[in-house]
């Protein structure tokens, strides 16, 4: 068995005859499977990478590229870390096939919705990074 993660991912995809890309009717080509495996591996490494600067209460954060799995905060809108949970809460989604099934939620963040509502959300800190751009005075975040 190969220990090359990309080869393992491609082999798994090849075992699923007729694998299809989102929104397409045609099976994925070998090149498409390789690219999909490469992107999956990069995102997995990004998710698992140790954080150089751990999150602390008051940090302004955003989703890491490709890691957004919740409705809020939207896109690249910033959120503020309100609490770092001492005990991880696991999402109670009961369906094992769901991306939320037992997701470790270890941080509570606050954000304003597009309607201006102040909301708190339990999130997985591995999906977050420090916010890297502040808008000019008087403008709104993207």
Structure tokens at 43: 């995102």
Q: Which residues of the chain have pLDDT under 70?
A: 1-26, 50-52, 93, 134-142
CA distance 108 to 31: 40
Q: What is the DSSP letter of 27?
A: B
Residues in the chain: 142
Q: What pLDDT sits at residue 12? A: 59
Q: What pLDDT sits at residue 142? A: 45
Q: What pLDDT sits at residue 57? A: 96
Structure tokens at 84: 């770092």
* Beta carbons of 84 and 106 less than 8 angstroms apart: yes
pTM for this predicted structure: 0.64
Beta bridge pairs of residue 105: 89
Residue spans of beta strands (DSSP E) within 40-117? 60-63, 79-90, 104-112
Q: What pLDDT sits at residue 1? A: 47
Q: What pLDDT sits at residue 5? A: 58
CA distance 109 to 121: 5
Residue among 37, 42, 47 nearest 126 (CA): 47
Q: What pLDDT sits at residue 28? A: 72
Structure tokens at 89: 């809460």
């Amino acid at each position: 068995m190969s220990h090359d993660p990309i080869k393992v991912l491609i082999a798994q995809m090849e075992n699923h005859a007729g694998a299809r890309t989102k929104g397409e009717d045609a099976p994925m080509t070998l090149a498409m499977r390789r690219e999909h495996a490469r992107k999956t591996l990069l995102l997995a490494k990004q998710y698992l990478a140790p954080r150089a600067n751990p999150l602390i209460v008051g940090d302004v954060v955003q989703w890491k590229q490709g890691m957004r799995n919740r409705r809020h905060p939207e896109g690249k809108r910033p959120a503020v870390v309100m609490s770092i949970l001492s005990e991880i809460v696991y999402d109670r989604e009961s369906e094992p096939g769901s991306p939320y099934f037992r997701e470790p939620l270890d941080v509570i963040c606050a954000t304003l919705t597009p309607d201006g509502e102040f909301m708190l959300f339990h999130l997985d800190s591995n999906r977050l990074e420090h916010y890297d751009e502040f808008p000019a005075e008087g403008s709104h975040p993207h």
